[in-house]
Structure 1
Amino acid sequence: MTLAVFYKLVAIFLTAGLGWVVGRMRWLGDERKGADPARTLSNAAFYIFVPALLFRTTSRLDFAHMPWGLIGAFFVPVVGLAVIVYAIGRHRNRAGSGAAAAPAVRAVSASFGNTLQIGVPMAAALFGEAGLGLHITIVSLHSLTLLTVLTTLAELDLARARARHEEAGGGTLLATLKVTVRNTIIHPVVLPVLAGMAWNLTGLGLPTVVDEVLVQLGSAVVPLCLTLIGMSLAYYGLRGSLRGAIALTATKLLVLPAVVLVVAHWGFGLQGLPLQVAVMMAALPAGSNTLMFSQRYETLEGETTSTIVLSTLAFAATAPLWLAVLAWVD
């Protein structure tokens, strides 16, 4: 654990702590009296700031010079594990009575890492400029890939739940299909990604003023999400969600980097600096955007908050472990 990463961890907890104070003191409103300031802030992030960040990122990607071997070595196991966690959740939902979006929410918590606040200083401190460049390359596709895949799965599950309800009420399959397609495409994650890709294909750069507006909007995502974590912790606490949070934390910090190591090294033949960057990126704690995802679907907010807090605390112990494993493998 380097000093730069340690300082980032402290800054994250202090920012989340400020959110906890805001939530505890009910400075923005009292959710017990009908107000829900956390939901309002989450909607602002999801409908304004995150779309700006995603559109700008995808519109500026240079696909011609992407290190596709590294990208495949990282995303194949990460998306694969996310789908496995999702499938397990689906199976449990069929056996019991879980919220329709719960499997996708848990899959996000188990796979989506804190690639910016912790990941960037970690990569810079451990691997230098070359490693940071590789890390940023993966970051550019991180939200695009994971949030798009898991948003689609969540919307499909919600569509199935609606179909069962409408079937009981006499609704038609065509009507359900139209709603599913519309909700999947006209979505604050998927739509800006598709729009950014379309703009990228034109070969035109973003106008300076538009780019500056997108930069300003996108820069609000990190502090807003960290504040939301603290507010949610004040509202929900850790009680009642620890069991699921511990399982998701173990999956994120231990299982996911192990899977990436095996697939990247022995499957894709990755070694040296690219392998180290891929594994350490997989070893990052759960990202703050996971809470925004859970609040979007009003599902497992307490468990998601607990997972972010626990995984960030545990990262101080697991990061040196993975660095030692990488030193032994190489």
Structure 2
Amino acid sequence: MNSPVLSALLPVVLLIAAGYLAGRRRWVGAHAVKDLSNLVFLLLAPALLFRAMSTVHVETLSLRPVAAYFIGAGVIFVGMLAFLGLTRSAAVLAITATFSNTVIIGVALVDLAYGPAGLVVLLTLVSLHSLVLITAATLMIELIVAREHAAASGAARRPIVWTVARAVRNSVLHPVPLPIIVGLLFAQTGLALPTAVDKPLMLLGQAFSPVALVLVGITLALTPVGTHLRGALALAVVKNVVHPLLVAGFGWLLGVRGLPLTVMVVAAAMPIGANAFLFSQRYQVVEEQVTAAVVVSTVLALVTLSAAMALAANF
């Protein structure tokens, strides 16, 4: 029972269960879910992301292992859009199938299993994970939203350059990519955050993981997840099984071996991160399916993460 996988995943399951209890008991009603989502998305997440990026120096990052991870995620993302079509729902499902829980579960798990050396490799990915995946997904969704608005209004189609420029603006002026970019720019100055600023940011960031997971549980209690079980299971299998296999293959082709490849494969095998749920809330699409997928993926990870760690030990 002292397995590092169980030790890392059990708190996540319990937090979701606590939220589920709160939702079932109606301690938090359906009317409050949107407000809680805004709290997490507009306040807690930016504090966490800015502070995490505020000490990252680009020149210290080893990018080849990370490249294997992102190539695998990119193949899944593009493949799902090609299969499902260019819609907001498809884009949210695509980010759901590629976004790992690298912070809430990943940091604790890798630290327990592989020690400080493994943690350094993971933090290289963590420093870029949201910046690359969320910014790319936001850009794609904003392009789709711009196209939908143009079609709904019946307005003449604007030049593609204008649409791309507007989508880029909306993807940057966004509560998730913006603090990542600002934090990364701040880190390059060599300055340190004053304690009076750093401490509140730290406290807000620490609140992100438990509140986000409790929110997943509340939404789970208030939505008919059973009707989305098949779709949730399909997303969970893509995330927990297909993603790590792709990362292992691309990592091998790129010449990545040993601990760096092991950590990347394990990171790819992590269950779906809470940011996917927040994305569905933000754009108000496939919320029930994504909520179910986060839960199914987390439970399934008890098996698939153990298998991935056993397989990665041979690298």
Cα 1:2–1:82, aligned 2, differ >3 Å: closer, same or farther? farther
Q: Is the 2:266–2:308 contact (alpha carbons within 8 Å) kept by the matching residues of 1?
A: yes
CA distance in 2, matches of 1:269, 1:176: 39
Corresponding position of 1:142: 129
Corresponding position of 1:9: 9
Following TM superposition, by how much is the alpha carbon of 1:82 offset from its aligned partner in structure 2, in angstroms? 2.1
SS at match of 1:151: helix
Q: Is the 1:87–1:103 contact (alpha carbons within 8 Å) kept by the matching residues of 2?
A: no
Following TM superposition, by how much is the alpha carbon of 1:305 offset from its aligned partner in structure 2, in angstroms? 1.1
SS at match of 1:60: coil
Counterparts of 1:287-306 in structure 2 under 5 Å?
Answer: 287-306=273-292
CA distance in 2, matches of 1:49, 1:177: 29
Counterparts of 1:193-208 in structure 2 under 5 Å?
Answer: 193-208=180-195
Following TM superposition, by how much is the alpha carbon of 1:178 offset from its aligned partner in structure 2, in angstroms? 6.9
Counterparts of 1:72-221 in structure 2 under 5 Å?
Answer: 72-90=67-85, 100-166=87-153, 168=154, 170=155, 173=158, 180-221=167-208
Q: Is the 1:110–1:252 contact (alpha carbons within 8 Å) kept by the matching residues of 2?
A: yes
CA distance in 1, matches of 2:67, 2:123: 15
CA distance in 1, matches of 2:73, 2:19: 30
CA distance in 1, matches of 2:130, 2:299: 23
CA distance in 1, matches of 2:165, 2:122: 39
The one-letter code of the counterpart of 1:215 is: M
Following TM superposition, by how much is the alpha carbon of 1:185 offset from its aligned partner in structure 2, in angstroms? 2.6
CA distance in 2, matches of 1:28, 1:157: 33
Corresponding position of 1:66: 61
SS at match of 1:153: helix
Cα 1:10–1:298, aligned 2, differ >3 Å: closer, same or farther? same
* TM-score, normalised relative to structure 2: 0.92
Q: Which moved more, 1:256-265 or 1:146-155?
A: 146-155
Q: Which moved more, 1:118-127 or 1:245-254?
A: 118-127
Following TM superposition, by how much is the alpha carbon of 1:182 offset from its aligned partner in structure 2, in angstroms? 4.1
Following TM superposition, by how much is the alpha carbon of 1:137 offset from its aligned partner in structure 2, in angstroms? 1.9
The one-letter code of the counterpart of 1:66 is: L
Q: Is the 1:101–1:158 contact (alpha carbons within 8 Å) kept by the matching residues of 2?
A: yes
Show structure 2 runs of 5+ residues with no match. Answer: none
Q: Which moved more, 1:150-159 or 1:178-187?
A: 178-187
CA distance in 2, matches of 1:10, 1:57: 24
Corresponding position of 1:284: 270
SS at match of 1:27: coil
The one-letter code of the counterpart of 2:300 is: A
Corresponding position of 2:47: 52
Corresponding position of 2:236: 249
Is structure 2 residue 267 aligned with structure 1 residue 272? no
Corresponding position of 1:95: none
CA distance in 1, matches of 2:151, 2:181: 30
Is structure 2 residue 234 aligned with structure 1 residue 239? no
Q: Is the 2:135–2:171 contact (alpha carbons within 8 Å) kept by the matching residues of 1?
A: no
Following TM superposition, by how much is the alpha carbon of 1:238 offset from its aligned partner in structure 2, in angstroms? 1.8
Q: Percent identity?
A: 37
Identify which of 200, 210, 226 aligns with 2:213: 226
CA distance in 1, matches of 2:269, 2:299: 13
Corresponding position of 1:96: none
Show structure 1 runs of 5+ residues with no match. Answer: 92-99
* TM-score, normalised relative to structure 1: 0.88
Equivalent residues, number = 313
Q: Which digits, 9 at most, give the CA deviation of each residue in 1:84-130, with x for residues without a partner?
A: 22332225xxxxxxxx4211211121011111232122212221221
Following TM superposition, by how much is the alpha carbon of 1:298 offset from its aligned partner in structure 2, in angstroms? 0.8
CA distance in 2, matches of 1:263, 1:235: 40
CA distance in 1, matches of 2:129, 2:150: 31
CA distance in 2, matches of 1:172, 1:321: 50
The one-letter code of the counterpart of 1:197 is: L
